[in-house]
A and B are shown apart, each in its own frame.
Chain A
Amino acid sequence: RKEVEQDPGPFNVPEGATVAFNCTYSNSASQSFFWYRQDCRKEPKLLMSVYSSGNEDGRFTAQLNRASQYISLLIRDSKLSDSATYLCAVNSVNQGGKLIFGQGTELSVKP
């Protein structure tokens, strides 16, 4: 079983749709959680850190469920410019600075 698992998609949605990504992790010692966005042939860019209480940034909401060991990212009112690959990443306290990435979920927002 992979340490971090994500549905690879692709997700094809119309503009204005709400889309949700989930990511499960297997290491219960995992401590820090992140969502990154990666455009084609570019580097991953940090979208959000995920906190225990959940956090929101405009149209983006991230949540953490420690009991079920998953994190989620919700995008509301999706825009064409949201088309990208979304990567979840997990850092465990017993693995130093090692970030484990999910496989990434490709999102395509269509007009």
Chain B
Amino acid sequence: DTEVTQTPKHLVMGMTNKKSLKCEQHMGHRAMYWYKQKAKKPPELMFVYSYEKLSINESVPSRFSPECPNSSLLNLHLHALQPEDSALYLCASSQVNGQGGNSEQFFGPGTRLTVL
């Protein structure tokens, strides 16, 4: 089952709201990722978790807070976002190949976020 699920599909929030994005995979992958994608642009990496530990933070503002409760789940907590944070937020997962890199990443369908 090569499936990554994400909820919610769509989210509209105000700048003072707190919300969370959720991601789940059951492929036994030990690396999970958050990406942000704006229209007509490629996905941009935000965070990488490897073996449930944060391994990469691409200098993301603290209003985005990732959490990896276990090897299957990944959350992204949102607080005090700005309208320019409106984008498609993609979760992905992969195996860790033990050579410093990772294998193919499989993406979830994304959460389309609008910040008013």
A residues whose Cβ falls under 8 Å from a Cβ of B: 31-32, 34, 41-46, 49, 87, 89, 91-99, 101-104
Contacts and interface: CB of A to CB of B under 8 A. Distances in A.
Given A42-B109, A43-B107, A43-B109, A93 B100 contact: yes
Given A42-B109, A43-B108, A101 B43 contact: yes
A97 B94 contact: yes
A67 B31 CA distance: 30
A31 B102 CA distance: 9
B90 interface: yes
Contact of B110 (A32, A43, A92, A96): A43
B99 A31 contact: yes
B104 interface: yes
Given A43-B108, A101-B42, A101-B43, A96 B56 contact: yes
Contacts of B106: 46
A92 B56 CA distance: 14
Contacts of B109: 42-43
Nearest to A93: B100
Given A93-B99, A96-B101, 16 more contacts: A31-B99, A32-B101, A43-B107, A44-B90, A44-B107, A45-B107, A46-B104, A96-B100, A97-B31, A97-B33, A97-B50, A97-B101, A97-B102, A98-B45, A101-B42, A103-B41
